[in-house]
Structure 1
């Protein structure tokens, strides 16, 4: 029987991207994660073996290249021009899901550590104040957790144990509230006004904190869709 997969462009594309996890691996690469462990942190539930297999698949299909780590051991994964062009595809998938599967999205079910990992990637270093700033995120429910975000020299680091520096701004909310702000279901000012999000610290920092984050890549479309829900 003839194979018509190479006749149809959609069939040919799915041969590259349709395996489970593969589009999300590309999403991580599009967002700038190049190290194996960093990609894995953004994909809770994937095994290291499967991640290795999918990365090899993408490399074989010309989507990913492996580069040696500068001055160190191991490899980094970088998108080829073909891989970078998939940013449009990933964006379209996200927008389509928000538009047509909105009621099936449950962003509040993310765990605190994964959410903080996503948040620290979506930052605007040009907006950071001078010097080090330590944010303490207290997650009150469903399971109490505390995670610290250290902003320094244009970079953000996630700490699951106390970083050893004094906290500058204390934040307190449920995981659902933090996730809702990140994804666009609720704005930062509305969460603060309602009391769902408590932010305590020097006034200049408290006012500045939301300007340091870029939030979800689909925050605007989520706000628009939530307004029609």
Structure 2
């Protein structure tokens, strides 16, 4: 007698991609991470052993494949066609969470270095300055400083001073930076409110928000935040 999973497509799919970490690994691959350490850096809380197991599982199930690294050392992880077609699934999960779990979002809990890693994956090289630019992000609550280096169409996260002159200094709580990245509020809105303090040449500081694409779900978060604001206003009235 066949088991339920043998003929239920939803059950078959959950066996491949529905444990706690697998959708997040697929998300990181969709965002452009290809090396093991890049994926691990984006997923605080997962052990390296478990990450190896999940990647091997996805490779066995035809969702991920490995390519030799261009450097000749190690290899890269890439989504197969089957893996790339999960993009709509991951996007739908994110939008569903914003719609129905919005009140439970806790942006203050993300580690600063993890947030900076996500931000660097969501930059817009076409808008980068023509010269090397260093942004110093000063996080409060918890206190930490992380640098983002923009150079020749690439972005790099530095937990130590990169050795170049800083062009922009941006200071805020971790929660504020996370809210901007998620789309709950805009960069300029946070600056005008005094929640983000920016130092640097005006023509450079004004361009900062154009260097980022923000979260893939920023538009949904922005809309949800506006609806929540209107609801509070109507209740108060």
Say whether the fold is shared (TM-score over 0.5): yes
C-alpha displacement of 1:2: 3.2
Counterpart of 1:204?
203
Other-structure match for 1:33: 33
d(CA) in 2 for partners of 1:112 and 1:196? Answer: 16
Q: Which residue of structure 2 aligns with residue 9 of structure 1?
A: 9
How many equivalent residue pairs? 228
Residue number in structure 1 paired with 2:123:
123
Give the C-alpha shift of residue 108 in structure 1.
2.1
**1: CA distance between counterparts of 2:192 and 2:211?**
19
- CA shift for structure 1 position 189: 1.3
TM-score, scaled to structure 1: 0.98
Partner Cα separation in structure 2 for residue 107 and residue 198 of structure 1: 19
- List alignment gaps of at least 5 residues for structure 1: none
1:10-57 superposed Cα distances (whole Å, 9 cap, x missing partner): 001001011220000000001010000000000001001100000000
In 1: Cα distance, 2:150 partner to 2:71 partner: 25
Structure 2 residues not aligned, in runs of 5+ = 229-237
SS at structure 2 position matched to 1:156: strand
Aligned CA-pair RMSD: 0.9
> Are 1:77 and 2:77 an aligned pair?
yes
Q: What is the distance in 2 between the residues matched to 1:116 and 1:70?
A: 25
Give the TM-score normalised by the residue count of structure 2.
Answer: 0.94
- Following TM superposition, where does structure 1 have runs of at least 4 consecutive aligned residues deviating by more than 6 angstroms? none
Distance in 1 (CA, whole Å) between partners of 2:157 and 2:194 is 25
